[in-house]
Amino acid sequence: MKPDLKFQAEQYSSMIPFLKRIATDKRFLDAYVEAIVSNIRIAVLDKNYTIIWVNERFCRLTQYTQHELVGNPIDKLKLICLDYKSFKTIFQTISKGEEWSGEIKSQAKDDSFFWTKTTILPIKDGDEIESYLVFNSNITATKNALEEKNIAVESLTRSEARYRALVENQSDLVSLCQMDGTRIFVNKSYCRFMGKSFEALIGTRIADLPLKGVPHHMMVKVFSLTLQSPEISEVMELENAAGEKVWISLHVKGIFDAAGNLYEFLTISRDVTDLKNAELRKTHYIDALEKIAFMTSHNVRGPIATMLGLAELLRMNAIHSEKWNEVLDNFKKCISDLDTYTRELGAFIYQRQSSK
């Protein structure tokens, strides 16, 4: 952008009366200098870097009196927290008549630390440097705030690194997707299950490259998550990269923005094959027990009840002698039935035990 020459000319013209006033009116010059000196922290050093004058604001910042500062070489005081190399760099710059500006950590008389934005101007008498003018601005609050921010960022970075290491190396399958199902993160377990690298999976959509075996209704539920129904869980049988059938407990949690709109969802899947097999074994065991109970109740107790009834009639002499053969045949039949049922029961139990 070209400079506005007209504006610059107007500015310079407006300064001319002010500059003439400084040059011709000593009272105005003294007032101007006093205003500057009273509002800026200033120190003056001789050509050997010994303090020869400081103003009140400089003393208040350092907590030293003028008497304690004046006459002392600035590099010998504990005021400046710089190593020899840093001092040397500054002195080499200003000894050549060049201005130096930078941030310096300092120590006050009460051992507290503060930071200043410092500018050192060499003052020349002809070609020779006769003194140095030092201007200080207190930037302690800014530096402390920045340091706190850096600490917070570093702590956050460490926490993120720890969390990432935890997520990446756990056995659960973890993925993070955008609202359209595009994968933006998958952990190592997820990659192993899919048989693909991290790079090959990132950017793919779960609708185009799903976990093998995920039913369609589960996909529909995932894309229908709301603040009122923010998560879903289901156990299903999936196929891994090796072609093995495994039972997976799949949990999907929606992540919503301030307006309540779904913008990401986190999926955590856990292999529960052992638990599912144990559950199936338990179910089969219960089924077997129920069948044994049924066989015992209906096939064993029936003949026993018949025999008990016949025995009670015999005890009471309630059966005529001409019926004894019939009763005996009934006893034989009940015994035969019991023998058959107990064999069947034994064979069933043996079969169940052999199939474990």
Q: Is the pLDDT of residue 38 over 60?
A: no
Whether the per-residue pLDDT at 258 is higher than 70: the answer is yes
**How confident is the model at residue 81, as a pLDDT?**
83
Q: Are 54 and 42 in contact (CB under 8 A)?
A: yes
Q: What is the pLDDT of residues 121-176, one digit of tens each?
A: 998 888 889 999 888 888 888 888 888 877 776 765 665 555 555 555 567 888 99
**Where in the chain are the domains?**
11-138, 140-169, 171-271, 277-354
pLDDT above 60 for 280 = yes
Q: What per-residue confidence (pLDDT) applies to 195?
A: 94
Under DSSP, is residue 256 helix (H, G, I), strand (E, B) or coil? Answer: strand
Asked whether the beta carbons of 236 and 247 are under 8 A apart, the reply is: yes
- Sign of the Cα pseudo-torsion (208, 209, 211, 213, in order): positive
Q: How far apart are CA 96 and CA 98, in angstroms?
A: 6
**CA pair distance 44, 42, nearest whole angstrom:** 7
- Residue 347 or 181, more confident: 181
Classify residue 4 as left (phi > 0), alpha (psi -120 to 50) or beta. beta
Counting residues of the chain whose pLDDT is more than 90, the rounded percentage is 22
What confidence category does residue 228 fall into, taking pLDDT thresholds of 50, 70 and 90? very high
Mean pLDDT score across all residues of the chain: 80
Distance CA 10, CA 317 (A): 142
Residue with tokens 């027990």: 289
Q: How far is CA 61 from CA 35, 107, 119, 121, 151, in A?
A: 18, 10, 16, 20, 26
Query: Of the given ranges (77-86, 91-100, 207-216, 252-261), which has the lowest mean pLDDT?
Result: 77-86
CATH of domain 11-138: 3.30.450.20
Residues 44 and 52: beta-carbon distance below 8 Å:
yes
Fold of 171-271: Beta-Lactamase (3.30.450)
CA torsion, ordered 204, 207, 210, 214, to nearest 10 deg: 160
What pLDDT, on the 0 to 100 scale, is given for residue 158? 65
How, if at all, do strands 100-107 and 51-54 pair? unpaired
Q: What is the pLDDT of residue 240?
A: 92
Q: How confident is the model at residue 1 (pLDDT cuts 50, 70, 90)?
A: very low
How far lies 302's CA from each of 45, 149, 309, 315, in Å? Answer: 119, 85, 11, 20
Of all residues in the chain, the percent with pLDDT exceeding 70 is 78
Q: Which residues pair with 182 in a beta bridge?
A: 205
User: What is the reported pLDDT for 252?
Assistant: 92
| pTM > 0.75 | no
DSSP labels for 64-107? --HHHHTTSBTTTSTTB---HHHHHHHHHHHHTT--EEEEEEEE
Distance CA 50, CA 329 (A): 133
pLDDT at 169: 59
From the list 74, 56, 73, the residue with the least C-alpha distance to 65 is 56
CA–CA gap between residue 153 and residue 143 (Å, rounded): 15
- pLDDT value at 274 more than 70: yes
Domain 11-138 shares a fold with domain 171-271: yes
Three-state DSSP class for 342?
A: helix
pLDDT at position 338, please? Answer: 80
Interval 284-290 mean pLDDT: 69
Q: Decide if 192 contacts 169 (C-beta within 8 A).
A: no
Among 33-37, 234-238, 293-297, top mean pLDDT goes to: 234-238
Average pLDDT over residues 332-337: 84
Contact 295, 345 (CB under 8 A): yes
With cut-offs at 50, 70 and 90, classify the pLDDT of residue 282. Answer: low
> 305 burial class (0-12, 13-18, 19+ CB within 10 angstroms)?
exposed
Q: Is the pLDDT of residue 186 over 70?
A: yes
Strand ranges for 78-230 from DSSP E: 100-107, 113-125, 128-138, 173-178, 183-186
Whether 220 has a pLDDT exceeding 60, the answer reads yes
Count Cβ atoms within 10 A of the Cβ of residue 119 and give its class: 0-12 exposed, 13-18 middle, 19 or more buried: middle
